[in-house]
Amino acid sequence: MKKMVAFMASPRKNGNTATLVKEVIRGAQDAGVETTIFNLYDMNIRPCQGCQVCRKTGKCVMEDDFQNMFKHIIEADAVVFASPIFVWQITAQMKLLWDRLCGLFDENHKPRYAPKSLIMVYSQGNPNAQAFQTSFQSNEAMLKMFGLNVVNTILLTGGLDPNTAANNQELLLKAYEAGKTI
Ligand SMILES: Cc1cc2nc3c(=O)[nH]c(=O)nc-3n(C[C@H](O)[C@H](O)[C@H](O)COP(=O)(O)O)c2cc1C
């Protein structure tokens, strides 16, 4: 059975990001994928201390909620990172997670594990879909170094109201299909 792990990084637990990631998961479940979701605002993820041990060993030395999340990533076939845009980028909770992922590559920046499919979910207030593409591209290039290859990006625009995604049938379907075809 394939495994998917999703990380939701919005403080609004019923907001747009949450709505879209739930659709991705529903699609994956309908395709028989085993799914797990972590709500990052409920997690204790300490900031990376820069000790560099993970670069040698592949393992972070800090014992907090990250350890279980990292185990899920290693075992997953597919990963979902879902975040609203706060000041042009992913939220700080997602960045805390990403900084801790350096154990996914070795000292030569080569992934330690087989490539995984990655679905990105973003929700932004700005109605212009082009507004933060440079951020998205740089995220994609960085995550590829970890062996996480973006296969689909779900982007909600104009999402200041937390119910915007729930009223966007086209995007909900796109999110569902992204999960289903993983
Ligand atoms: C602190 C903060 C910073 C934000 N910065 C941006 C931004 O730079 N660009 C933007 O388009 N929207 C910005 N927004 C709006 C959110 O991205 C938008 O409301 C998003 O849909 C929230 O997702 P959610 O419903 O999943 O929480 C910001 C919101 C907050 C609270």
Total domains in the chain come to: 1
Q: What is the pLDDT of residue 61?
A: 98
The conformation of residue 113, written as its DSSP 8-state character, comes to S
Q: What is the CATH number of the domain that holds 62?
A: 3.40.50.360
Residue minimizing CA distance to atom 2 of ligand 1: 86
Q: Is 113 in the pocket of ligand 1 (CB under 6 A)?
A: no
- Distance from Cα 60 to the centre of ligand 1, integer Å: 31
What is the end-to-end Cα distance of the chain in Å, rounded?
12
DSSP letters spanning 4-68: EEEEE--S-TTSHHHHHHHHHHHHHHHTT-EEEEEEGGGS--PPP----HHHHHSS-S--STHHH
| Parts of the chain with a pLDDT under 70 | none
Q: What is the pLDDT of residue 62?
A: 98
DSSP letters spanning 39-54: EGGGS--PPP----HH
- Distance from Cα 160 to the centre of ligand 1, integer Å: 7
Q: Which one of 14, 22, 120, 124 would you pick to mutate in the ligand 1 pocket, going by the greatest count of ligand atoms within 8 A of its CB?
A: 124
- Distance from Cα 2 to the centre of ligand 1, integer Å: 32
- Distance from Cα 156 to the centre of ligand 1, integer Å: 11
Segments forming the whole domain that contains residue 50: 3-180
DSSP letters spanning 114-182: --EEEEEEEE-S-S-TTTTHHHHHHHHHHHHHTTEEEEEEEEE-S--STTTGGG-HHHHHHHHHHHHT-
Nearest ligand 1 atom to alpha carbon 85 = 17
Q: What is the pLDDT of residue 57?
A: 97
